Amino acid sequence: MSSTRQFSFEFFPTKTDAGHEKLMQTAAHLATYNPNYFSCTYGAGGSTRDRTIDTVKHLNDVIKVSTAPHLSCVGDTKADLRQLLTMYKNSGINRLVALRGDLPSGMGMASGELRYANELVEFVRKETDDHFTIAVAAYPEMHPQARNFEEDLRNFATKVKAGANIAITQYFFNADCYFYFVERVRKLGIEIPIVPGIMPITNYTRLARFSDACGAEMPRWVRKQLEAYGDDTKSIKAFGEQVISEMCERLLQGGAPGLHFYTLNQAEPSLAIWENLKLPR
């Protein structure tokens, strides 16, 4: 890809062989669009450890797109993390998405030795120097557990200064919160690219529930319109595609350094946006 913007697709590891096979077909299709990288999520506490590793290796080695494993620190010991870092490094992986993670309910709070993502970034740098390009998470609408916006901004800056190269945002439906966040963190001396995380809209009920949980505000006019479509998935997709494509256009025109698509393991919703934006292939 000629532009210096970064485009990436995120997947989650599947539970079955059939799911894995289907994911690899999806990834192979998305690979033809020449993204800068893929990423694959990790269940905090190690719940998807083996499946994340298998998926990352397959995407990287067989589909041949540089792939970033997500790595979270809550629930994992330093020894667990060291082992994963060594294995990824020896397998030719040179990107990571470093996160605190959210432990599944019932597993208690922060039982690992590292409590916050800034400590994980510091640990990765100490263990592996500059081997990995490290991405961290950013929350333009504030992390849901943060005490206030200012404190969350300062915590974000600390995490970046620990050695992150790029940030990927939580998804949002309002470009202004992204621009405001970027403006504020620049004033704290943060220069790294902050890439908007993009969630295509393909469903209403699930997305509304998930958005409430992760603190992504769905504007009333979007919510009401999606609600009114009921089971009409075709209309939901068409409206969602228009809303998200227009937001992405504004983001890129306003200087966003790329887009990171939360694909939910589906190619078409992200590619519809990609085509609407006439992004290079």
- Say how far apart CA 83 and CA 236 lie, in whole Å: 44
Contact between 237 and ligand FAD per CB under 6 A: no
Chain length of the chain: 281
CA distances from 18 to 21, 69, 221, 281 (A): 5, 21, 39, 29
Q: How far is the CB of 153 from ligand FAD (least distance, A)?
A: 8
Q: Which of 168, 244, 251, 267 binds ligand FAD (CB under 6 A)?
A: 168
The stretch near ligand FAD (CB under 6 A) out of 59-67, 82-90, 155-163, 234-242 is 155-163
Q: Which of 76, 122, 152, 241 binds ligand FAD (CB under 6 A)?
A: 152
Q: Which of 51, 57, 100, 237 binds ligand FAD (CB under 6 A)?
A: 100
10 in active site: yes
Q: Among residue numbers 58 through 97, which ones bind ligand FAD (CB under 6 A)?
A: 70, 72, 97
Task: Name, in order, each residue with C-beta under 8 angstroms of 169's C-beta and a sequence gap of 6 or more.
Answer: 137, 138, 139, 140, 178, 181, 194, 195, 196, 197, 260
Q: Which of 33, 37, 42, 181 binds ligand FAD (CB under 6 A)?
A: 42
- Say how far apart CA 248 and CA 38 lie, in whole Å: 19
C-beta neighbour count of 194 within 10 angstroms? 23
Q: Which residues form the catalytic set?
A: 10
Residues that bind ligand FAD (CB under 6 A): 41-42, 44, 70, 72, 97, 99-102, 116-118, 137, 143, 145-146, 152, 155, 158-159, 168, 170, 197
